[in-house]
Chains A and B, each alone.
Chain A
Amino acid sequence: MPLAESDGPAAAALAGWRRLDRRMLVLHPIQELIRAIPWLVALLIAGGSSGHGSLWGLAGVAVVIFAGGLRWFTTTYRIAPEQVQVRRGLIRRQTLTVLRDRVRTVDVTANALHRLLGLARVTIGTGRSDRKDDGGVKLDGLSREECAWVRQELLHHLPTRPAGSPYRQSEAPSDSATEVELALWDPRWILYGPLTLSGLITLAAVVGFGYRIASEANINPARVGPVHDLLGSLGAASPALLIVVLSVAAMVLIGLASAGGYVLAFWNYRLTRQSTGTLHISRGLLTTRAVTLDERRLRGVELSEPLLLRAAHGARCIAIATGLRVGRGAEVGGSMLVPPAPRKLAETVAATILGDMETVTGPLAPHGPMARRRRYTRLLLLGSAALVALVAGWQVGPLPAWPWQVVLVLLFASPLLAADRYRSLGHAVVGGRLVTRWGSLVRRRCILASDGIIGWNIHQSFFQRRVGLVTLTATTAAGRQGYRIQDITLAEAVRVAESARPGLLSVFVSSGPAIAKS
């Protein structure tokens, strides 16, 4: 659909072009100012040497505010029957066009500043997971009501507003769609927060940052008065006590940071299902986030249980949807369906979404004694190799003794891990869905619809070939892109692939070695 650029502003308004909310004139300059702080500081320092520091700084501030405000004039968007278009930029005019049937998610995020002004940022996710720079089309600074409208229009397939009728306050989005609540926030869940150890990263970042600043300023933390006294008295008492105190302190801090992060991210969490075929997740304490996910893009769900969370009978649930990558960014990205919560609840939600309880809690086929042996040999060999290398490094090189001692202790614990890793392994094909489970430190059970499988990979390492095992990977455009069933026999792999997608793999694999060509 070609764009009528030359028709003038009147025609553009008729064609349904809309602007951001006026309140963004306050929002953007402040955001730009915050973003420009390092740059302004640099400018002040540079200007300071020439004697006009404050003047240059003021000019900089003016430019930044002006540029932020200008965006209101340059950014327009419209939702046409077929597509969503955003025009932006002053010198480099850009028109972003997204086909409406490619829209997978609508993500409405509002940070503290947004909420103060009653605004929000809408991100329209199109599932181009390969594009790193931005996750979709962003509209920063729409009013809350407008956001609700955009979401309704895009994902609930409401007819678009007639062209040329700008949004009016009186028109609240009609909630004709009925919604069913699947899960609701419970303050007791905060106790699950520390079990994910997500605070570890935060704490590491803070410690790293603090250490950098201290070393830049030539402060040795161990020499600062109270710290020095404390460390000294503890170290004098016994070095073991020092280690215990430090680890307990670290654990408490990690726990607090994790719980804090959990509250910030998932406060007021609510998961609902709209009768129009979307899932709606809203959550957040300071920055609120509301993600709407098109169920037609949903290919399955993943239940993941980090070791500690599993011990406390907790689990979280992640959507496997095309265009939504899972992984480290699952919490940041929109694919988190249930935050760390009681496992029963996560399972019920997963089963409700899939419409099938058996794939979520049903029994899985074990992978057999060879797979069990491989769990042990792999861990023991890896541990032994690390031990040998570290001992050698300690004998001839500069390494201290403690690394190999730690590895030795871990080596004795590794059979436990191996046993648990084997217990986790399992797979099934139930009701047109492939189920696979693996992992111990993080156990994951992935349920993938057969329709979502777009190919098979069969991997055999040298050692796997010797014992006749394969790793079968179902490739998909959703989630992790590939879901593995580790260490099953070739015959079982062919059986699984056949029952999930008949007539694809067996043609090439079970009929002996493939026919050579060329």
Chain B
Amino acid sequence: MSPKAIWYWAVRAGIGWLVVLVAQIVWLAVSHHVSGWQQVGLVATVVIAAVHLTIMPQWRYRVHRWEATAVAVYTQSGWFHQERRIAPLSRIQTVDSERGPIEQLFGLANVTANTASAAGPLRISGLDLETAQRLVDELTYQTQLSPGDAT
């Protein structure tokens, strides 16, 4: 993973929390008589968001790993719940690379290797552009070599 991924995950989560916070503030602002529960809720949101934003990206960075060998692709992701996925190259059907707006901001990209199973796409996020491009090329080349319809 690129170390920039830490910032990317933080910003992405931060935006999510911001939406929640803004909604709560608007609710506070439009209420005629503010109840104690609303204030407690707001404080709780801020505290949880702060803890989440400091812990999650670091933790994620320590968990996330990927590896592509001549026969298979392996990914390791998550933080609180962790998931490891393995798919042999011969069963990979498509390789996609995607860059969302926040990812573009940090010069990152993700690569998804799809298999014929709906349960098994392997997603490698937070790669720097060059690595992502190289990986896509490599996987595309390798998967073309294997015959059959990969089911």
B151 A477 Cβ-Cβ under 8 A: yes
Residues of B within 8 A of A (CB): 1-2, 65-67, 69, 71-72, 74, 76, 80-88, 91, 115-120, 122, 127-128, 131, 150-151
CB-based nearest A residue for B84: A458
A455 B115 Cβ-Cβ under 8 A: yes
Flag whether A517 is at the interface (Cβ < 8 A): yes
Which residues of chain A are within 8 angstroms of B131 by Cβ–Cβ distance? Answer: 518
B82 A475 Cβ-Cβ under 8 A: no
Minimum CB–CB distance for A34 against chain B, Å? 35
Minimum CB–CB distance for A398 against chain B, Å? 15
A455 B84 Cβ-Cβ under 8 A: no
Query: How far, in angstroms, from A117 to B129 measured CA to CA in the complex?
Result: 63
CB-based nearest A residue for B81: A461
A515 B67 Cβ-Cβ under 8 A: yes
Cβ contact of B82, chosen from A454, A465, A503, cutoff 8 A? A465
Flag whether A514 is at the interface (Cβ < 8 A): yes
Query: How far, in angstroms, from A503 to B88 measured CA to CA in the complex?
Result: 10
A454 B150 Cβ-Cβ under 8 A: yes
Q: With A514-B65, A517-B66 in contact, is A456–B117 under 8 Å at CB?
A: no
CB-based nearest A residue for B79: A462
Q: With A507-B72, A514-B67, A518-B1 in contact, is A475–B84 under 8 Å at CB?
A: no
Cβ contact of A459, chosen from B74, B83, B86, B150, cutoff 8 A? B83
Which residues of chain A are within 8 angstroms of B65 by Cβ–Cβ distance? Answer: 513-514, 516-517
Q: How many A-B residue pairs have CB under 8 A?
A: 101
Minimum CB–CB distance for B5 against chain A, Å? 10
Q: With A504-B72, A514-B76 in contact, is A509–B119 under 8 Å at CB?
A: no
B76 A518 Cβ-Cβ under 8 A: no
Q: With A455-B85, A455-B88, A514-B67 in contact, is A475–B127 under 8 Å at CB?
A: no
Which residues of chain B are within 8 angstroms of A53 by Cβ–Cβ distance? Answer: none
Which residues of chain A are within 8 angstroms of B84 by Cβ–Cβ distance? Answer: 457-458, 508-509
Given A130-B118, A508-B72, A514-B67, 10 more A-B residue pairs with CB atoms under 8 Å apart are A455-B117, A455-B122, A457-B86, A459-B83, A460-B81, A475-B117, A482-B117, A503-B71, A517-B67, A518-B127
Query: How far, in angstroms, from A452 to B85 measured CA to CA in the complex?
Result: 16
Which residues of chain B are within 8 angstroms of A478 by Cβ–Cβ distance? Answer: 151
Flag whether A485 is at the interface (Cβ < 8 A): no
Query: How far, in angstroms, from A504 to B82 measured CA to CA in the complex?
Result: 19
Query: How far, in angstroms, from A322 to B91 measured CA to CA in the complex?
Result: 14
A322, A457, A515 — most chain B CB neighbours (10 Å)? A457
CB-based nearest B residue for A456: B86
B65, B84, B88 — most chain A CB neighbours (10 Å)? B84
Query: How far, in angstroms, from A503 to B115 measured CA to CA in the complex?
Result: 19
Flag whether A288 is at the interface (Cβ < 8 A): no
5 contacts between A and B (CB under 8 A): A455-B85, A457-B84, A475-B120, A481-B117, A507-B69
A514 B74 Cβ-Cβ under 8 A: yes
